[in-house]
Chain A
């Protein structure tokens, strides 16, 4: 009987193939199955975490909770980043709005300036002056 292929070993590893007569009799295939089993166990088992490591982590968390403002730093970082982003967006869009505003023609501009230049009195006080002229 032929040796198991790599595909056969993978199917067996994922529970898609049962051990057959060949694999029980063939020393090579049996050895490969053993090696794969050991490897899978090594990869799937949870890592050992020492009690000291966990205690240090707990202390670190408690310290952060006690410090308060430091624990908010992450939130503040987001707020600042968003504010800066908004400032940049507004900075880029407001000048465009300003440019998009209907521009006054040169003719109208100089007509207005000329009228302003020549009118000596504010419009608000014109009614008072009209009284004296009558």
Chain B
């Protein structure tokens, strides 16, 4: 019983310590800045990089949102115009691709600022991938 409670507490603590999935502003979190031991110059470089990317990030976000709305409009239209719907799908794929590219480029720029040790520390804070789901055994004939 005590063991189970201890395990539950440990799991809860681990979950609390985990950072959110996806990109987040780790550079603005005091505990991460402290743990990574970011120098003032590194902090300036990171802020400058984020500032440089910000306008494009805003554009990308708007493009994805607009493409989502366009596609929803096509799905709601009666009768559905398949040609237009396919065009909306294409635009959404393009916008999402731009989102992935921009976020990856931003991450790369930030990674270059960090040392190997800082990078490892940052990775350590990432949530672990979920364990693979158990596959059902296929009944043998």
Identify the A interface with B (CB < 8 A). 104, 106-107, 109-110, 112-118, 122-125
Contacts and interface: CB of A to CB of B under 8 A. Distances in A.
Interface string B57-77: 110110010001001101100
Contact of A110 (B25, B64, B74, B75): B25
A109 B61 contact: yes
A118 B21 contact: yes
Contact of B22 (A107, A117, A122): A117
Contacts of B28: 106
A124 B103 contact: no
B54 interface: yes
A117 B68 contact: no
Nearest to A111: B24
Given A106-B25, A114-B23, A123 B72 contact: yes
A15 to B, nearest CB: 77
Contact of B103 (A106, A113, A115): A113
Given A116-B64, A122-B68, A124-B72, 18 more contacts: A104-B61, A106-B25, A106-B54, A107-B25, A109-B61, A113-B22, A113-B60, A113-B99, A114-B21, A114-B23, A114-B24, A116-B61, A116-B99, A117-B22, A117-B23, A122-B71, A122-B89, A122-B92
B100 interface: yes
Contacts of A104: 58, 61
B99 A124 contact: no
Nearest to B51: A106
Contact of A118 (B22, B50, B54, B61): B22
Contacts of A107: 25
Contacts of A125: 75
Contacts of B72: 123-124
Nearest to A104: B58
A113 B50 CA distance: 14
B103 A109 contact: no
Nearest to B70: A124
